Amino acid sequence: MTLQVLLENLGTLLGLFFLIYGLVQFCYQVWELHKKHRDYRKWCQSVKPSGVQMDIQKRGGKYRMQ
């Protein structure tokens, strides 16, 4: 009787452990993808020319104030 109860509890505890472990792993992977995407967006913004630089490129290298 006690062995059966122990085995049922062990199965429940293992099930809960793997459920929580899977949830934590999933959240970690989502967070890693978010960080990669965030870093990529920051990199794109640093590479992309700003407004004044765009004006210089469009006008063939001549800087004019409007």
Percent residues over pLDDT 70 in the chain: 70
Q: What are phi and psi of 35, to 5 degrees?
A: -65, -40
Q: What pLDDT score does 46 carry?
A: 79
Q: Which pairs from 35-44 meet CB under 8 Å and 24+ separation?
A: none
Average pLDDT of the chain to the nearest whole number: 80
Domain residue spans of the chain: 2-58
Give 3-17 pLDDT, tens digit per residue: 788 888 888 999 999
CB atoms within 10 A of CB 55: 15
